[in-house]
Chain A
Amino acid sequence: MKHYLLYPGCSMEASARAYYDSLMQVAEPIGLELEEIKDWNCCGATEYLGISLTPAYALISRNLALASQQANGSRTVVAPCSACYLNLAKADYYMREQPRLGKMVNEALAAGGLAYQPGSLDVRHLLDVIVYDIGLETVKSKVVRPLSNLRVAPYLGCMVPRPDFEKRWSDHEHPVELDQLLKALGAEVIDFPLKTHCCGGHMTQISPDTAFELIRRLVSSADHYQADIMATLCPMCQLNLDAYQGEMNRHFGTHYRMPVVFFTQLMGLAFGLKPQDLGFGSELVSAKAALTKIGLQVPQAPAAPPKGRKEQGLPMPKPLPPRGSRALAEGEVQK
């Protein structure tokens, strides 16, 4: 077993519950022992940095301080969420690059009886740890249900391969790690050209038109390459592409139905685990059709939204037609 400190991040407890559940399921078979940092706090996402600098870095660094206190035998912090990973890595790196920042952050931490020595921890992303520490051979050895015939678009988003302070990835724009992992699971991995392009981040909240265009590019490209499913490693990417896909479709008059799941969920399937234990069924764009390709049924969603809309009712959107988006999608491209 390899021992690491885990920084789950807020999303893993809510919108990205499926990521957390599936990670907990696949960690043991591959010998990944994760110890959660006790009483961790939010990393501030991309919001706090834009408000004020010292509090933002102090907020991030409380987690580093707690982790270094707790570090029994491990100095590696693993973060599965991209924004959390980048914030923790960034704080550690900038406090080394600019010692004045480290001094100020430590002065703030001292108010809570904490301290952090920049550089004393390694901050790494979950995928990095699985591919480079655990190894693809170990992953391959656990596969009992190869994902043959499942066409998967590997989607990393921005903040894991970039800015990559410690040069951990094979490339900033076209890294191959996720492709390799999915191939080890037996999946048919498409060469997804937009694999590190932006999902829109918080733009779905503040400038929806900007976000919808970015979401459209990604989904339409994956659809164009005839992917059955997209595999991501970021809660924000999953939320934007999955939960806002319907609104994006209405915005552009398209009919995409591209399921987006976490790569750990696909690992679990390949390891022979049950879909319901891996958080399948919680995606808003159902992965059912994709999973039938590997002979699996997705559990029913817990509760359906209320039915029976009236003609004179509130302007509720029409339910989306079943998958068959390709023809319409091409028509949409011609515009």
Chain B
Amino acid sequence: MPQRQVAMLGVVVEQVRAGLRTEEDLSLLSEVSASTAGVSRLEMCIQCGTCGGSCPSAADMDHTPRMLFAMLRAGMREYVLRSNTPWICVSCYHCVVRCPQNVHIADVMYTLKGMAIKAKLYQDSTAPDFSRTFVDMVEEYGRSFEFGLATRHYLKHFPLRLPSMTPMALGMLSKERMTITPKRIRQIGQLKAILKRAKQMEATNGHGGAS
């Protein structure tokens, strides 16, 4: 990934040299911050890099969280939303508890995923599809449904991995750790009404209902 990061920095340098960036545009930063649950404190980032240094999956990321936040501040919308970083984040909260500025880093990653889905800017659809399938099941039944989720997801994204997963799947089924029928909550109508209203508000107020 380093070459990629260097290339990305090169883009910024080029834009500055070309005079494309003369004044600070903090609209992306404010949009992301306002769309995050709670008080994100994203504006407080001092670029210390503790986040990337604490990250167990940083090696697989296009940009460390620190770098991504610098790009946010630079208004590099498309680059930020195309980055695989939010999708590789495992939500372990190591960076969150170590951040000297108490930035809600993991929650910012959730916000960026939502924005990338909306703008259709993600590079690899595996993760967004997984989230979508999971959420579809939850919206339908009120419960997660591991068997339905796994079969739909693996057939689409990891068909070649299926043979090596067979012993595991058989084990899970034979040990009754996975059921092949979904379980529905009693008041599914109530849940659907709540989610419908929430989605309407989300649509009218923009992502996260930021105002």
Contacts and interface: CB of A to CB of B under 8 A. Distances in A.
Interface of A: 10-11, 13-17, 39-42, 44-55, 57-59, 62, 90, 93-94, 97-98, 100-101, 104-105, 107-114, 158-159, 162-164, 172-173, 197-198, 200-203, 205-210, 214, 243-244, 246-247, 250, 281-282, 284, 301-306, 314-317
11 contacts: A15-B177, A45-B134, A47-B131, A50-B117, A53-B37, A53-B207, A53-B209, A97-B39, A198-B56, A198-B92, A314-B163
A14 B178 contact: yes
Chain B: interface secondary structure? helix
Contacts of A284: 168, 171-172, 175
Interface in B143-181: 143-144, 146, 150, 153, 157-158, 161, 163-168, 170-172, 174-179
Given A50-B110, A205-B153, 5 more contacts: A13-B183, A57-B37, A58-B194, A105-B198, A198-B94
Interface stretch (B3-11, B45-53, B73-81, B184-192): B184-192
Nearest to B199: A55
A271 to B, nearest CB: 23
B195 interface: yes
B59 to A, nearest CB: 8
Given A162-B94, A203-B57, A247 B165 contact: yes
Interface residues on B, range: 35 or more
Given A41-B142, A158-B94, A200-B90, A114 B194 contact: yes
A203 B209 contact: no
A265 to B, nearest CB: 14
Contacts of B146: 10, 14-15
A318 to B, nearest CB: 10
Binding site secondary structure of chain A? loop
Given A58-B195, A111-B194, A112-B193, A201 B153 contact: no
Q: Which 10 A-B pairs have the closest CB atoms?
A: A162-B93, A50-B113, A111-B197, A94-B38, A108-B198, A112-B190, A158-B92, A198-B92, A58-B198, A47-B134
**Most chain-B CB neighbours within 10 Å: which of A41, A107, A306?**
A41
Contact of B97 (A108, A164, A206, A250): A164
Contacts of B174: 301-305
Interface of B: 35-39, 56-57, 60, 86-88, 90-94, 96-97, 106-107, 109-111, 113-114, 117, 126-127, 130-132, 134-135, 138, 142-144, 146, 150, 153, 157-158, 161, 163-168, 170-172, 174-179, 183, 185-187, 190-191, 193-199, 201-202, 205, 207-209, 211
